Homo-oligomer: A and B are copies of this chain.
């Protein structure tokens, strides 16, 4: 950016660019304001990932409006998370496809894996699968070779140990668990790559909608573990993808 600034100023000094042009460039907003949302046209450049639409709390017309703005700005691949089946049914957009289990909508299809290695998505139980699918689909959309290892909770260690090869060959592991969240610690002790732990709201009684699992994971005695928000499969996959690229 330093270079760009100097180049621009040199152009002004040499008369190649007018003061007005320079002023416009220096002040130009890298986004489009469509009233109810400010669509960030440059995020793909800045952050290495295209714009993602958080579907919860947005109406179908709002989502379509944001999609249109993005496509007009040349975006061809779009991810929509937390999209209920009801909304998905009503969305009209070219190339839109919906994955119900992970509540994910995708425009532009999955991306061929271009990451360095593999991401493993591991769950403790079957009830953690919706969160896992959100993570799995996001990781795939972002161009990662991704493997699922589901229902391998620590109360039956042999199930987890049987999948050790898959686990140990991953470049990043997403460990998803509710209840007591012990899976993250056990996985963390087994692998030598970063583990992104996702607490889920699965459980009852004193699980407090995921807080018990969140605390377990934050307090893990194993190395190399960090934690994202409860049920945040998308966020875990996003970071795992950054690590893998």
Q: Which residues of A contact B (CB under 8 A)?
A: 1-2, 5-6, 9-10, 12-13, 15, 18-19, 22-23, 26-27, 29-31, 36-38, 40, 43, 46-49, 52, 56-58, 62, 124-127, 129, 150-159, 162, 164-165, 179-182, 184-186, 188-194, 196, 199, 201-208, 210-232, 235-236, 238-239, 242-243
Contact = CB atoms under 8 A, between A and B. Distances in A.
Contact of A154 (B15, B43, B186, B231): B186
A29 to B, nearest CB: 4
Contacts of A207: 215, 219, 229
Contacts of A30: 158
Contact of A182 (B12, B22, B38, B186): B186
A37 B164 CA distance: 18
Contacts of A13: 12-13, 15, 18-19
A212 B216 contact: yes
A180 B223 contact: no
B188 A185 contact: no
B151 A243 contact: no
Given A9-B22, A58-B127, A203-B219, 10 more contacts: A31-B159, A38-B159, A154-B154, A157-B157, A157-B189, A180-B217, A180-B220, A193-B242, A225-B235, A226-B239
A204 B101 CA distance: 19
A208 B216 CA distance: 11
Contacts of A150: 36, 38
Contact of A230 (B48, B58, B202, B204): B204
Given A154-B154, A210-B205, A211-B206, A179 B10 contact: no
B225 A227 contact: no
A104 to B, nearest CB: 15
Contact of A37 (B15, B47, B126): B126
A232 B217 contact: no
A207 to B, nearest CB: 5
3 nearest A-B pairs in the assembled complex, by CB-CB distance: A205-B230, A182-B182, A226-B226
A37 B184 CA distance: 19
A226 B196 contact: yes
A12 B23 CA distance: 12
B215 A238 contact: no
A221 B12 contact: no
